[in-house]
Amino acid sequence: MAKEKQQEFVQHLTPRDEDFSQWYTDVVLKCDLMDYTPVRGCMAIKPYGYGIWELMQQEMDARFKATGHKNVSMPMLIPESLLLKEADHVEGFAPEVAWVTQGGGEELTERLAIRPTSETIFCTMYAKWAQSWRDLPMKYNQWCSVLRWEKSTRPFLRTAEFLWQEGHTIHATPEEAQQETLAMLDVYREFCENVLAIPVYSGQKSDKEKFAGARATYSVEAMMQDGKALQTGTSHNFGTNFSEPFQIQFLDKDGALKYAHETSWGTSTRMIGAVIMTHGDERGLKLPPRIAPIQVVIVPIAAHKGGVLEACAEIAGGLKAAGIRVEVDDRDTYSAGYKFNDWEMKGVPLRLEVGPRDLEARQVTAVRRDSFEKAPLALDGLPQRIQALLAEVQRSLYEIALAFQQAHTAVARDMRELAAQVNGGYAKAMWCGERACEDAIKEQLGATSRNMPFDQTPVGDACVCCGKKADIVMYFAKAY
Amino acid sequence: MAKEKQQEFVQHLTPRDEDFSQWYTDVVLKCDLMDYTPVRGCMAIKPYGYGIWELMQQEMDARFKATGHKNVSMPMLIPESLLLKEADHVEGFAPEVAWVTQGGGEELTERLAIRPTSETIFCTMYAKWAQSWRDLPMKYNQWCSVLRWEKSTRPFLRTAEFLWQEGHTIHATPEEAQQETLAMLDVYREFCENVLAIPVYSGQKSDKEKFAGARATYSVEAMMQDGKALQTGTSHNFGTNFSEPFQIQFLDKDGALKYAHETSWGTSTRMIGAVIMTHGDERGLKLPPRIAPIQVVIVPIAAHKGGVLEACAEIAGGLKAAGIRVEVDDRDTYSAGYKFNDWEMKGVPLRLEVGPRDLEARQVTAVRRDSFEKAPLALDGLPQRIQALLAEVQRSLYEIALAFQQAHTAVARDMRELAAQVNGGYAKAMWCGERACEDAIKEQLGATSRNMPFDQTPVGDACVCCGKKADIVMYFAKAY
């Protein structure tokens, strides 16, 4: 009976190797991460999905604060005149903007954009707030949502409205701004690796792929299980590109009036998509313990037997007291088998089975979601054992993802090799630096330049596309 | 010299009794809580103001979760057709809505409202999510910003865009919905009293003052130092007012299809305004320790003397380790006197002065912001002493506010007494229940009914306005 239910249940997810994209959509919906809404391209993030985002936020926010950043809140609306001030920026974002044209029953004299990003409003305020070198640096961040009128959308990966954080900083010198840009990129790298268990390639974007208005854009690029790239974070150095039109000037120590040097950096709910497509499997989601809203689920076995439910509650209490996010699944309308599958699908890192025989032996049976390894754990000192096991799951998820990334990255020396490599992985290739070659690669192979790694040790001397002399090492991949 | 600076500095704030409203604006701006922006009625919340909000959020979010609520994220845009579904609701909010009419370079076929509140979108999703009694209750909350096209705005108290939380829940029975409505009202009361150190009157709104679309609205009402009311939170019972037009139906245990019973409840950045106007004084802000971004500031005395700055850093380290939010003001461009005033203005609950003589005596000098009491504290066991002192400041702020509230609340038996009482306080009065009397009081005295306390022990038998028989006890006050 439980067996039958189990079978039926697993069949609900489209197999990954049959249709990766449909598998993704199945996971997102069936795990109750989000739902579609009647609002074009906008999603409702459900409690389980939002719980993941909250944990990501906590981890990132702590890192931002530890590196001297403070949170603020800026208006969601941006007058059109502000958006127009920086030419490249408006060119990049204007086509995607949603405009407020009526308010309080009247037509507005100036259209207001719902922020697609907040450089222009931060710049306006920074121009007001920065007077002297003593006021610098200003290192602010905000958690909010932004809106971009995307033509086609996919849950978490590309939605019209999405939740994100955007850091905006101004500095007295170009060196400080560059240092900030790279420091925050590295915060993102470390966060992806240690919290999301996702290895990333850090590097600089090409001119073609950089942010509208930036002098230099850096990114961290993850690899999904279909070999495609997903950019999980970006960090931009604007130099004085914005501070000049916005007149962000300060009186320096030497008495001269100077333009501030600016950066911005962001990550978003896209990262939830990256987690799904990096770690998931046939049975569904696999959550790294550090961002799992439920780290441990306790499933009572023969729950009707005396003492079982009480023992589950007691064990849960002990784990909770040790800071472990735990839940007891005491639903009496489902079989234990159904529950196993349900929580496996939802990616809970560790399941504890607690039955009369376990209790007699003063133990529980622990089952890892990542490896399905099953082992008894003594009740004595259980919280410590669980902590260790969760750390082990976290480490293991990262290592498997790292091995996958390494196995699916290879050098490509010409277009034939590049075509083969980007069909399910990243290519590391030499590039001459010409936009024409990037365009050709995009057009012929559907792949884009991802970023230039900081380690520029050559892997050849000829451009992968045109064959001319090349001295830039670039990652190419198809991308989300 | 320090003395001169101090004098000059204090003069920057308009005296409270001269112009309370200007004093408020001065505090808000000079304490760096917020700034005006080029966006009509929208403010930029600066780090110090946002820091207060973050602490409020943490405290409230923990309470929501402890009472079984989960966070979600809904779209910020609401199609006009959804907003129109509940007649009272649209009548209440439509005049204040900002409309998106263009997106992605095209005119939209249907206008999209920027959410003024999210009942309609929650209802739309609940109709999809609730199928069976097993799915109920659904108890969700979201932290976001909303937008209402207010005609005149004031920092924190009334702004076009503001940050808030909105809880929305659906239940199987009217009893459960009513229980939820009152339980969340009580969470707000307890939060105001224990975290904000603000006493409030809890009770039910009149029909005139209730939320657009609600069957019953409850509020917590605080009293500002000018005797005016500020509503710090509301909780609504909608009954099936929304679930009928939105078709939120579930199959009950008895096999019948039933409409769900719904509630919503909210608090906002308005509460920051309430904190300022409840506790502030001539010197500026006075923050309750539980929401103070900086609880303790350490000011080095004769900082140039050997060991002083090192001792300050060590003391700060010890306090930080004990979970106290502490900062060392080691700016070398300001005198100690200037710093004292600066941090007093910013409302930091406790100042520690650390000079060579203090260190010799193995002590620091602690100065309370609330009472200006000055006392030496031994370095041994300092964190515990500080914790105790902060708790004492928190308690004392509440008691002073409570005494003020009590002293400025009195029974009014007729319009003459009512006029006198609402000129700087709350009136407790009998009311016949007629809208006409509320209208007359509003028109003649500029006061509104605030709420009906749960304790309805009569304070007379004739309506304060019309003199007819009355059996409702109502608080009246002028309000923000």
CB-based contact A103 B97, cutoff 8 Å: yes
Q: Tell me the ipTM for this assembly.
A: 0.95
Which chain B residue shows the shortest CA-CA distance from A143?
B144
Is the Cβ of B103 closer than 8 Å to some Cβ of chain A? yes
Measured between beta carbons, the chain A residues lying within 8 angstroms of B128 are: 35
CB-based contact B111 A102, cutoff 8 Å: yes
Q: Which pLDDT band holds residue B376 (cuts at 50, 70, 90)?
A: very high
CB-based contact B73 A47, cutoff 8 Å: no
Is the Cβ of A68 closer than 8 Å to some Cβ of chain B? no
CB-based contact A112 B39, cutoff 8 Å: yes
Tell me what pLDDT residue A88 has: 87
Average pLDDT over residues A29-52: 97
Burial class (CB in 10 A: 0-12, 13-18, 19+), A475: buried
CB-based contact A104 B95, cutoff 8 Å: yes
3-state helix, strand, coil in chain A (%, to 5): 35, 30, 35
Please tell me the distance in Å from A17's CA to the nearest CA on chain B: 30
Where are the domains positioned within chain B? 20-279, 296-389, 409-477
| Count, residues in chain B | 480
> Does pLDDT of B229 surpass 80?
yes
Please tell me the distance in Å from A320's CA to the nearest CA on chain B: 13
Tell me what pLDDT residue B5 has: 46
Contact B303, B358 (CB under 8 A): no
CB-based contact B104 A95, cutoff 8 Å: yes
Tell me what pLDDT residue B7 has: 47
Tell me what pLDDT residue A86 has: 87
Q: Which residues pair with A398 in a beta bridge?
A: none
Tell me what pLDDT residue A12 has: 81
Measured between beta carbons, the chain B residues lying within 8 angstroms of A82 are: 38
Please tell me the distance in Å from B111's CA to the nearest CA on chain A: 10
CA dihedral A331, A334, A335, A337 (to 10 degrees): -100
CB-based contact A129 B35, cutoff 8 Å: yes
Measure CB to CB from residue A98 to each of B70, B100, B161 and give the nearest one. B100
Which chain A residue shows the shortest CA-CA distance from B100?
A100
Interface of A with B in 317-376 (CB under 8 A): 333
Please tell me the distance in Å from B334's CA to the nearest CA on chain A: 12
- Amino acid present at A392: E
Measured between beta carbons, the chain B residues lying within 8 angstroms of A70 are: 47, 50-51
Query: Cα angle at B34 between B28 and B36, to 5 degrees?
Result: 105
CA dihedral B407, B16, B285, B265 (to 10 degrees): 60
**What are B184's two structure tokens?**
């969340």
Which chain B residue shows the shortest CA-CA distance from A103?
B98
B409-477 shares the fold of B20-279: no
- Cα–Cα dist A227/B347, whole Å: 55
Is the Cβ of B77 closer than 8 Å to some Cβ of chain A? yes
Tell me what pLDDT residue B11 has: 53
Tell me what pLDDT residue A439 has: 98
Q: In what order do the strands lie in the sheet with A472-477?
A: A409-411, A426-431, A472-477, A448-449
End-to-end alpha carbon distance in chain B = 41
Average pLDDT over residues B318-340: 96
Average pLDDT over residues A244-261: 98
CB-based contact B39 A134, cutoff 8 Å: no
Average pLDDT over residues B336-357: 96
**What are A110's two structure tokens?**
């100036």
Measured between beta carbons, the chain A residues lying within 8 angstroms of B98 are: 77, 100, 102-104, 112
- Cα–Cα dist B227/A253, whole Å: 49
Burial class (CB in 10 A: 0-12, 13-18, 19+), A35: middle
Q: Which pLDDT band holds residue B3 (cuts at 50, 70, 90)?
A: very low
> Does pLDDT of A329 surpass 60?
yes
Measure CB to CB from residue B73 to each of A39, A45, A95 and give the nearest one. A45
Please tell me the distance in Å from B427's CA to the nearest CA on chain A: 34
Tell me what pLDDT residue A2 has: 42
CB-based contact A98 B98, cutoff 8 Å: no
- Cα–Cα dist A260/A298, whole Å: 55
Please tell me the distance in Å from B210's CA to the nearest CA on chain A: 21
Interface of A with B in 5-64 (CB under 8 A): 35, 37-40, 42-47, 50-51, 53-54
Mutate: best of A48, A57, A74, A77, partner B, most B CBs <10 A = A77
Mean predicted lDDT score pLDDT of chain A = 96
CB-based contact A70 B54, cutoff 8 Å: no
CB-based contact A75 B44, cutoff 8 Å: yes
Measured between beta carbons, the chain A residues lying within 8 angstroms of B144 are: 145
Distances (CA, A) of A34 to A9, A25, B135: 20, 10, 16
Mean predicted lDDT score pLDDT of chain B = 96
Tell me what pLDDT residue A147 has: 97
Please tell me the distance in Å from A445's CA to the nearest CA on chain B: 28
Give the torsion sign (CA, B469, B472, B477, B480): negative
Helical axes A382-407 vs A270-279, angle rounded to 10°: 90
Helix (H) or strand (E) holding B237: strand B229-239
**What are B406's two structure tokens?**
């009590």
Average pLDDT over residues B228-255: 97
A171-227 pLDDT, tens digit per residue, is: 999 999 999 999 999 999 999 999 999 999 999 999 999 999 999 999 999 999 999
Distances (CA, A) of B459 to A382, B228, B411, B415, B430: 60, 21, 7, 15, 7
Measured between beta carbons, the chain A residues lying within 8 angstroms of B112 are: 39, 98
This prediction has a pTM of 0.96
Measure CB to CB from residue A47 to each of B37, B71, B111 and give the nearest one. B71
Contact A467, A436 (CB under 8 A): no
- Cα–Cα dist B330/B310, whole Å: 11
A394-441 pLDDT, tens digit per residue, is: 999 999 999 999 999 999 999 999 999 999 999 999 999 999 999 999
Contact B450, B418 (CB under 8 A): no
> Does pLDDT of B433 surpass 60?
yes
Average pLDDT over residues A323-347: 95
Q: Which pLDDT band holds residue A333 (cuts at 50, 70, 90)?
A: confident
Measured between beta carbons, the chain B residues lying within 8 angstroms of A96 are: 104
Which chain A residue shows the shortest CA-CA distance from B123?
A37
Q: Which pLDDT band holds residue B9 (cuts at 50, 70, 90)?
A: low
> Does pLDDT of B4 surpass 60?
no
- Cα–Cα dist A205/A451, whole Å: 5
Q: Which pLDDT band holds residue A87 (cuts at 50, 70, 90)?
A: confident
Share of chain A above pLDDT 70, in %: 98
Q: What is the homologous superfamily of the domain B20-279 according to CATH?
A: Bira Bifunctional Protein; Domain 2 (3.30.930.10)
Is the Cβ of A84 closer than 8 Å to some Cβ of chain B? no
Is the Cβ of A143 closer than 8 Å to some Cβ of chain B? no
Measure CB to CB from residue B45 to each of A72, A102, A121 and give the nearest one. A72
Average pLDDT over residues A276-292: 97
Is the Cβ of B424 closer than 8 Å to some Cβ of chain A? no
Q: Which residues pair with B264 in a beta bridge?
A: B168, B236
- Cα–Cα dist A54/A291, whole Å: 8
Q: Which pLDDT band holds residue A4 (cuts at 50, 70, 90)?
A: very low
- The alpha helices in A164-238, defined as continuous H runs, are 174-194
B435-445 pLDDT, tens digit per residue, is: 999 999 999 99
For the domain spanning B409-477, the CATH number is 3.30.110.30
For the domain spanning B296-389, the CATH number is 3.40.50.800
Mutate: best of B72, B84, B124, partner A, most A CBs <10 A = B72
Strands A98-103 and A77-79: unpaired
Contact A300, A328 (CB under 8 A): yes
Which chain B residue shows the shortest CA-CA distance from A75?
B42
Share of chain A above pLDDT 90, in %: 93
B74-132 pLDDT, tens digit per residue, is: 999 999 999 999 888 888 888 899 999 999 999 999 999 999 999 999 999 999 999 99
Tell me what pLDDT residue B333 has: 87
Q: Which residues pair with B339 in a beta bridge?
A: none
Tell me what pLDDT residue A218 has: 98
